[in-house]
């Protein structure tokens, strides 16, 4: 079947009689034929070809006047990448929007390729020759077959399983008795793709800023995070209501569902009213359907002995009374189900691409929203708790330690024991191409009982404590100054070092000061602490000794900096920290401006004819100031020109004073500007407001 658009055209260069989007061929190439044969559904960074049938006698002019526009969303814009303008080229580019044309008689084969990072969604394709002609509509999806797309997945067998497969197996039960729930994802069933796009359009992000949201849809990290919020109904118009109560009378019992499509259709048909009820595997299965529909490789993952750490300390606390009754519990679920999505993480350091866990079951707020992830599975394994998003929560689910306490009737609490191996077992997903369980526990953690597992737990704990204290891991250097830095005085500035690693560090610090002009031009060096060795800088948290820091003091002496400093009185401070062992460099910069001495206005009468400004200034320098001059200036106050008053030489720390007479010309509110200059101090300025009466 083919889709045809008939256009009535007026006076355009190219007169098109008919457009054939060649959906069946294109959708086959783009792995979307299962979805539909009569609607153009294409993937990013892969060309598709449509046929334009021209009016007899008209030609397709391969020249500058033919341009194309592809646009998506309600507010398309080139800057936001929701609108692309491109013209015909000789070859298709794989790194931008491009088009080529092949002509024969009265038909044109037009090949178009999208940018591999274009936002996904419904697009209009427009031929622009001064007048715009709509060529048709298409849906653009993520493309796991395209190397330039962040969701690229190299293995065809894995793409078959994680993108194209419409059914799967979900694991439940307990590790010794794992049960299998067959599930129909149905991502290519009629209407499902539109419902998936509708989910994006119902998200609070789209509702509050549609232009930004559509632009962000180029990023699978963003889309995955939106989905993890929108699959559950808390805080938005999301798809499913969670219910763990045993009372499901006004809805469907979570164990009854066997497919995602009936849930998604019910949500859409009910005007986006949340469907009752889901539990973790239902949330995950629906998330998997939507991810696969949009082209993000996805799999459902089950974790056994899944901890739910209510206070974020990576420890499951259990309390018993004297009769061995469990009286309070950080809950450990028999199993918990979430999804993993495959993508690169350009927002994180290299090595954290690949499977990203995200959890649509509403359990905790992340940045104020009930969502979780995407979090690189490797960040969980390596205990990188500061990575985005929500690593501590998922880390605790798979690898929290259990600590047991006994609480006596008199209130005393004793630690009894615990387990480092109870949480996070037999993490399971369906194998690629086979109806078998694949154990992926090793992706989430080093073997229980191994040294690495303990090392990572310690590191995770360390990162977690830093995060709770608002600190970043690693070595840090920062420049601190005191508020009192007047020109002429000697003063100290400090380079402060913080060791937020887990080990004691030896470091070298170089700290120097250099005069600088307001335009950034560097001048002479005016202070230097060269490569000072700091031995044994203790880690901040390991010892719980408060703020263990290294500190290097740099004394800026007037005798030194006076030779370098410019009229702008600015000094640039630079501190370098070198980890003596790893040779890693850290840098801190700060520019300071030295305070001027203050011009003291002893008195200016505000009313009258002949007025006198009574001025004083203390020489802040330890040496005399030569050629001291006060200048006053003001509109309608000083006859249109500055009045200068020369004072001569003033000794160190002495006051220089002057009485400057002036005659206002007009009544009204005026500003008098006062300036002081000398051989060593310039541009010292102040002003005073005056009211002049008639």
The rounded distance, in Å, linking the Cα atoms of 480 and 498 is 13
> Is the previous residue joined to 585 through a cis bond, with omega within 30 degrees of 0?
no
The rounded distance, in Å, linking the Cα atoms of 216 and 236 is 19
| Contact between 135 and 111 (Cβ < 8 Å) | no
The one among 219, 420, 486, 506 contacting Ca ion by CB under 5 A = 420
Closest CA relative to residue 507, chosen from 519, 498, 515, 494: 498
Least Å from the CB of residue 303 to Ca ion: 12
Alpha helices for 469-598 (secondary structure H): 558-564
Q: Which of 309, 330, 359, 390 is catalytic?
A: 359
Q: Which residues contact 438 (CB under 8 A, 6 or more apart)?
A: 428, 429, 430, 431, 432
**570 has which bridge partners?**
516, 593
The one among 149, 189, 330, 384 contacting Ca ion by CB under 5 A = 330
Least Å from the CB of residue 63 to Ca ion: 51
Does the annotation flag 448 for ligand binding?
yes
Q: How many CA atoms lie within 13 A of 20 on its CB side?
A: 12
Least Å from the CB of residue 206 to Ca ion: 13
Least Å from the CB of residue 421 to Ca ion: 5
The rounded distance, in Å, linking the Cα atoms of 578 and 109 is 61
Examine residue 418 and tell whether it contacts Ca ion (CB under 5 A). no
Examine residue 397 and tell whether it contacts Ca ion (CB under 5 A). no
Question: How long a stretch of residues is the chain?
Answer: 694
Least Å from the CB of residue 368 to Ca ion: 11
Q: CB nearer to Ca ion: give 236 or 384.
A: 236
Least Å from the CB of residue 500 to Ca ion: 23
Burial 215-245 (b: 16+ CB within 10 A, else e): bbbbbbbbbbbbbbbbbbbbebbbbbbbbee
Q: Which tokens hold the place of 259?
A: 């497919």
Q: CB nearer to Ca ion: give 326 or 553.
A: 326
CB-closest chain residue to Ca ion: 238
Strands 365-366 and 240-242: unpaired
Q: Which of 280, 372, 507, 628 is catalytic?
A: 280
Examine residue 399 and tell whether it contacts Ca ion (CB under 5 A). yes
DSSP single-letter state for residue 598: P
Alpha helices for 350-431 (secondary structure H): 377-381, 391-399
Q: CB nearer to Ca ion: give 272 or 600.
A: 272
Q: Which tokens hold the place of 265?
A: 């259709």
Q: Which of 336, 462, 463, 633 is catalytic?
A: 336
**665 has which bridge partners?**
none
Q: Which residues contact 556 (CB under 8 A, 6 or more apart)?
A: 485, 490, 491, 492, 493, 513, 526, 527, 571
Examine residue 161 and tell whether it contacts Ca ion (CB under 5 A). no
Examine residue 441 and tell whether it contacts Ca ion (CB under 5 A). no
The one among 215, 232, 268, 426 contacting Ca ion by CB under 5 A = 232
Least Å from the CB of residue 89 to Ca ion: 44
60-68, 238-246, 298-306, 332-340 -> range binding Ca ion (CB under 5 A):
238-246
Least Å from the CB of residue 238 to Ca ion: 4
Examine residue 229 and tell whether it contacts Ca ion (CB under 5 A). yes
Least Å from the CB of residue 240 to Ca ion: 9
Cα separations in angstroms, 56 against 5, 59, 60, 105, 665: 17, 8, 11, 9, 86
**What does 252-297 look like in DSSP terms, one character per residue?**
--GGG--BSHHHHHHHHHTTSPPEEEE-HHHHHHHHHHHHHHHT--
Q: CB nearer to Ca ion: give 86 or 206.
A: 206
Examine residue 620 and tell whether it contacts Ca ion (CB under 5 A). no
Examine residue 106 and tell whether it contacts Ca ion (CB under 5 A). no
Reported in sequence order, the residue ranges of 310-352 that DSSP labels E, i.e. its strands, are 315-320, 326-329, 332-343
Site string for Ca ion, 345-384 (x = CB under 5 A): -------------------------x--------------
Q: CB nearer to Ca ion: give 399 or 443.
A: 399
Q: Which residues contact 363 (CB under 8 A, 6 or more apart)?
A: 308, 370, 372, 393
Does the annotation flag 399 for ligand binding?
yes
Query: Is 359 in the active site?
Result: yes
Q: CB nearer to Ca ion: give 309 or 340.
A: 309
Q: CB nearer to Ca ion: give 288 or 526.
A: 288
The one among 235, 418, 523, 539 contacting Ca ion by CB under 5 A = 235
Q: CB nearer to Ca ion: give 161 or 309.
A: 309
**What does 177-199 look like in DSSP terms, one character per residue?**
EEEEEEEE--TTSTTHHHHHHHH
Q: CB nearer to Ca ion: give 216 or 317.
A: 317
Query: Is 336 in the active site?
Result: yes
Closest CA relative to residue 617, chosen from 632, 596, 603, 594: 596
Q: In what order do the strands lie in the sheet with 413-419?
A: 326-329, 315-320, 401-407, 413-419
The rounded distance, in Å, linking the Cα atoms of 428 and 141 is 28
Examine residue 461 and tell whether it contacts Ca ion (CB under 5 A). no
Q: CB nearer to Ca ion: give 362 or 473.
A: 362
Query: Is 53 in the active site?
Result: no
* Interface positions, 269-328, toward Ca ion (CB under 5 A): 309, 311, 313, 315
Binding-site size, Ca ion (CB under 5 A): 14
Site string for Ca ion, 509-528 (x = CB under 5 A): --------------------
Q: CB nearer to Ca ion: give 89 or 331.
A: 331
The rounded distance, in Å, linking the Cα atoms of 576 and 511 is 6
Least Å from the CB of residue 449 to Ca ion: 9
231-239, 378-386, 434-442, 588-596 -> range binding Ca ion (CB under 5 A):
231-239
* ∠ CA 242-248-249, rounded to 5°: 140
Least Å from the CB of residue 380 to Ca ion: 12
The one among 234, 431, 616, 629 contacting Ca ion by CB under 5 A = 234
Q: Which residues are catalytic?
A: 280, 336, 359
Point out the annotated binding site: 399, 401, 448, 453
**Residues at the interface with Ca ion (CB under 5 A):** 229, 232, 234-236, 238, 309, 311, 313, 315, 330, 370, 399, 420
Point out the annotated binding site for Ca(2+): 399, 401, 448, 453
């Amino acid at each position: 079947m083919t889709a045809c658009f008939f256009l009535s055209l007026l006076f355009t260069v190219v007169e098109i009689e008919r457009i054939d989007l060649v959906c069946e061929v294109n959708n086959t190439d783009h792995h979307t034929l299962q979805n539909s044969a009569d609607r153009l559904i294409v993937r990013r960074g892969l060309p598709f070809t449509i046929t334009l049938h021209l009016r007899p006698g008209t030609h397709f002019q391969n020249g500058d006047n033919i341009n194309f526009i592809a646009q998506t969303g309600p507010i398309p814009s080139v800057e936001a990448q929701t609108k692309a303008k491109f013209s015909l080229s000789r070859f298709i580019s794989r790194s931008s929007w491009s088009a080529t044309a092949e002509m024969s008689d009265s038909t044109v084969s037009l090949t178009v390729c999208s940018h591999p990072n274009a936002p996904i969604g419904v697009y209009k394709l427009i031929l622009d020759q001064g007048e715009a002609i709509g060529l048709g509509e298409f849906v653009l999806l993520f493309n796991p077959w395209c190397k330039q797309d962040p969701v690229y997945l190299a293995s065809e067998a894995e793409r078959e399983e994680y993108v194209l497969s419409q059914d799967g197996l979900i694991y439940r039960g307990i590790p010794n008795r794992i049960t299998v729930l067959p599930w129909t994802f149905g991502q290519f069933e009629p209407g499902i793709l539109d419902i998936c796009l509708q989910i994006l359009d119902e998200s609070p992000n789209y509702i509050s800023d549609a232009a930004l949201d559509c632009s962000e849809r180029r990023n699978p990290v963003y889309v995955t995070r939106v989905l993890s919020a929108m699959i559950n109904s808390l805080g938005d118009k999301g798809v499913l209501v969670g219910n763990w109560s045993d009372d499901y009378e006004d809805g469907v019992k979570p164990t009854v569902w066997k497919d995602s499509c009936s849930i998604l259709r019910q949500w859409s048909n009910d005007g986006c009213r949340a469907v009752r009820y889901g539990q973790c595997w239902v949330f995950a299965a629906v998330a998997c359907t939507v991810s696969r529909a949009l082209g993000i490789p996805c799999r459902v993952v089950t974790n056994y002995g899944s901890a739910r750490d209510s206070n974020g300390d990576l420890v499951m606390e259990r309390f018993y009374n004297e009769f061995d009754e469990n009286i309070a519990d950080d809950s450990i679920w028999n199993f918990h189900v979430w999804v993993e999505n495959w993508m690169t993480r350009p927002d994180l350091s290299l090595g954290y691409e690949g499977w990203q866990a995200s959890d649509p079951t509403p359990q905790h707020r992340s940045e104020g929203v009930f969502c979780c992830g995407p979090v690189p599975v490797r960040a969980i394994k390596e205990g990188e708790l500061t990575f985005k998003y929500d690593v501590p929560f998922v880390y605790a689910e798979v690898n929290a330690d259990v600590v047991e306490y006994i609480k006596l009737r008199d209130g005393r609490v004793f630690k009894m024991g615990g387990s480092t191996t109870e949480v996070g077992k037999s993490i399971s997903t369906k194998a690629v191409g086979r109806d078998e369980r694949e154990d992926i526990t090793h992706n989430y953690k080093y073997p229980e009982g191994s040294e690495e597992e303990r090392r990572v737990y310690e590191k995770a704990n360390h990162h977690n404590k830093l995060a709770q204290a608002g600190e970043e891991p690693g070595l840090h250097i920062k420049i601190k100054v005191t508020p009192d830095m007047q020109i002429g005085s000697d003063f100290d500035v400090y380079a402060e070092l913080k060791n937020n690693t887990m080990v004691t560090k030896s470091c070298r610090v170089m700290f120097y000061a250099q005069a600088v002009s307001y335009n950034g031009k560097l001048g002479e060096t005016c202070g230097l602490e060269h490569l000072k060795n700091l031995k044994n800088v203790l880690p901040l948290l390991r010892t719980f000794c408060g703020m263990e820091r290294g500190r290097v003091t740099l004394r800026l002496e007037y005798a030194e900096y006076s030779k370098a400093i410019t009229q702008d009185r600015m000094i640039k401070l630079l501190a370098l920290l070198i980890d003596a062992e790893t040779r890693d460099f850290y840098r801190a910069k700060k520019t300071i401006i030295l305070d001027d001495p203050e011009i003291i206005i002893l008195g200016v009468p505000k009313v009258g004819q002949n007025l006198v400004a009574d001025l004083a200034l203390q020489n802040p320098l330890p040496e005399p100031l030569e050629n001291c001059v006060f200048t006053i200036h003001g509109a309608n106050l000083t006859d249109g020109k500055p009045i200068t008053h020369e004072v001569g030489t003033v000794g160190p720390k002495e006051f220089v004073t002057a009485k400057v007479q002036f005659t206002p010309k007009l009544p009204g509110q005026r500003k008098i500007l006062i300036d002081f200059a000398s051989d060593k101090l310039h541009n010292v300025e102040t002003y005073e407001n005056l009211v002049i009466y008639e």
